[in-house]
Chain A
Amino acid sequence: MERATKPGRVSRFRPRGLIGMSYILESIISGLLLGLIYALLSVGFGLTWGTMKILNIAHAVFAVLGAFLAYWIFVKVKLDPILSLPFLAALMFLIGAVVYKLAVRPVTRAKDVVMASMVATFGVATVVENLMSYFWRPDPRVLKPVYSGSSLFIGDISISVGPLIGCAISLCSIALIYWFLHRTYTGKGVQATWQNPTGAALAGINPERVSLITFGLSIASAGAAGVAMAMVYAFYPAVQSVWTLFVFLVTIVGGVGSVIGSALAGLLIGFIIGVSAAFLPFVWTNVILFALLLIVLLFKPEGLFAT
């Protein structure tokens, strides 16, 4: 055992032997799992920003709404969040479509769409957060399916099942979004509209419908991400402001409008969290993450993986 630290001083942990190696691997794996969950949280935000020029400040509030809905279904109907996920994603798509019609579509005609959409979606975030507080109270919630407190053990390395399932949800959802955009006729229509709106319209693609699908898809992915986040974090309506931080971090590092970019940025951020937690005092983790953000903004403001 090492000598005790002096009062108030942070210990400098140096991994040693088997415990040190398993600790490093656990940290890195845990970071990567979280990073992929952040990727799903951000992918829809990046899509609407990059393609529709809609900066949706309300994106994370819909993730929290997804978490609340999954929690509510789990408590009331005893339906596991994994099983309720397809229904929930469909519901979130519909909610996204309604929000698009009511709050987003009008601002797409503004001179400065980015600024106008920020203001409009800030309003949406406030309304949704307050509605959640009204209906579900502002109390923190913890999603606790039976597997939430268990781990897989590979030798000395433990991998928490909650984040693992959150990561699986994330991977499947990102793969589905990618497949939809690149392998389906509608998805290709969506891409065509982003790349050349006039040409797509001349080819008979309805830009209004494409925008609605894109925004609905974005909100559906936020809802799924909320379930994945709830596998790891406690949540309450006001936590949306904290989750928004993760959304911006991944999107700025990865670049807007790229599904794969978001996934890679999430992985990179997770890897940095894991490695820095393993080798440095934990308090440095956020410093390093936001230093990365600054470096990206200075040297590659379009994002590391922008297409």
Chain B
Amino acid sequence: MLAISLVAAQTAKAAPAGEPIKIGGSLPLTGVASEQGRWVKAGYEWWAEDINSRGGLLGRPVKLIIYDDESSAEKAVSYYERAITVDKVDLVFGGYPGTSNVALMPVMEKYQKVFVGQGGHGKSFEQGFTYTFASPPLMGEWSGISIAGIYDDLIPKENWPKTAAILTMNNVIGISATPNIVKAFQDRGVNVAVNEIYNIPLSDATPLVSKAKGRGAEFLIIQGFFDDTVMIMRAAKAQRYAPKLIWDIIGSRVPAWFKEMGADGDYVLANNWFPAGLPYPGNDKILEGTKKKLNTSFPPDYFAIGYCWMYTLEQGIKVAGSLDNTKIRDALRSRPFDLPFGKGVKFDSRGLPPPFNFTVQTRAGKNEIIWPKQVAQAKLEYPRPGWGK
């Protein structure tokens, strides 16, 4: 499936002129990652509308060519190659999720296209690719920073959860995060009593939850997509298993979580690389887009992250003053940038910013930053109130 959006320039500012700049690629608009993918698409489309209303990119209008890769890495590669070789796009946008990006990073190197998005996960950045930039990355390997922050800064040591259970989906997203989460626990003397990997689709959450409950895990880590996280939460509620903390990697960060889970979805922690409301450039535009396009008071995470990725590409193009992808790549490496998730962000030779993490907690239909303390919007609710409270 193909969606093309050519966003008309607004007349309030200097209207963009000339041949549209084509930016293409694919996103998972159907399939297992579609709930995140469609919000990334909305973020891209809002960026395109926004840049056109601001006079365009290098004075030219922007046109997006978005294919639906059905959450398949193989199809993502095909569609990106099609965008580059058949549609002759000037630029590509970042793909989603990391599983697709692992396959896409060498393709971008082959065609010398700057690829600004989340990138793959840790190891994919160690292979010498030079055209990929993660801004922000959704780097599973950095999840341990969130766990360490919760323990060290937010909970008095005498009240620390002493036993943890980690339930991880069997893909690069989950697997890459686990070792550093385990290390963060072990460094603090926390017993990882359950460390299970499950295949997706998850057939049955009951045995996993029974195991965590039976082992007395006070901290439950869920590293799954929306469907399996919902199943695990349902099983936990049904078994009256109420750990002191529940932390998840993806499931609670999509709007459907709040709509479908209601109060059962509250007080769940999640790590994040871009929560809304940070005091950095570009946030105002994300909030504006949320109001104008989504009619909600709070930006969905993947909408904001999609905007961040395009905003970073935009900054690189502005510095390069050209659509030459090699010049854009060099420009992104040349200096620090003020971006929606941080000021003075400098990309290293791998295309990564220095490791960082934010932690949010769900409550009353939105995610609020609880760590780091400098940008916190709310205090950690600890222990998590029991089901129905």
Contacts and interface: CB of A to CB of B under 8 A. Distances in A.
A282 B195 contact: no
Interface string A131-172: 001000011111010001111000000101111000000000
B31 A238 contact: yes
A238 B34 contact: yes
Contacts of A7: 178-180, 182-183, 186
Contact of B185 (A4, A158, A289): A4
A233 B227 contact: yes
Nearest to B169: A283
A286 B203 contact: yes
Contacts of A282: 196-198, 207-208
A13 B256 CA distance: 34
Contact of A140 (B185, B227, B239): B227
Interface size class of B (residues with CB under 8 A): 35 or more
Interface in A1-31: 1-11, 13, 19-20, 22-23, 26-27, 30-31
Contacts of B336: none
Contacts of A23: 207, 210-211, 214
A234 interface: yes
A234 B175 CA distance: 23
Contacts of B191: 1-4
A228 interface: no
Contacts of B204: 27, 30-31, 34, 273-274, 277, 285
B193 interface: yes
Contact of A8 (B178, B190, B216, B261): B178
B178 A239 contact: no
Given A19-B214, A278-B207, A286-B203, A140 B256 contact: yes
Interface in B31-54: 31-32, 34-35, 38
Interface residues of A, number: 57
A281 B196 contact: yes
Contacts of A285: 198-199, 203-204
A20 to B, nearest CB: 8
B387 A149 contact: yes
A241 interface: yes
Contacts, number: 159
Contact of B239 (A9, A158, A238): A158
A276 to B, nearest CB: 9
Interface string A230-241: 001110111101
A245 B387 CA distance: 33
Contacts of B226: 140, 234
A121 to B, nearest CB: 18
Contacts of B185: 4
A283 B171 CA distance: 11
Contact of A149 (B35, B201, B207, B238): B238
Interface string A181-207: 000000000000000000000000000
A212 to B, nearest CB: 32
A242 interface: yes
B237 interface: yes
Contacts of B182: 4-8
Interface string B244-267: 000000000001100111101000
B240 A13 contact: no
A5 B195 contact: yes
Which of B175, B197, B207, B237 is the most central at the interface, judged by chain A CB atoms within 10 Å of its CB?
Answer: B207
Nearest to A15: B214
Contacts of A10: 195-197
A282 B228 CA distance: 14
A18 B235 CA distance: 20
B175 to A, nearest CB: 7
A-B interface, 8 closest residue pairs, ranked by CB to CB distance from nearest: A277-B207, A7-B179, A30-B206, A160-B238, A142-B260, A149-B237, A27-B207, A8-B179
Given A160-B234, A282-B198, 10 more contacts: A1-B163, A3-B191, A4-B186, A9-B195, A138-B30, A140-B256, A144-B260, A160-B238, A234-B226, A241-B31
Interface of A: 1-11, 13, 19-20, 22-23, 26-27, 30-31, 34, 133, 138-142, 144, 148-151, 158, 160-163, 232-234, 236-239, 241-242, 245, 273-274, 277-278, 281-283, 285-286, 289
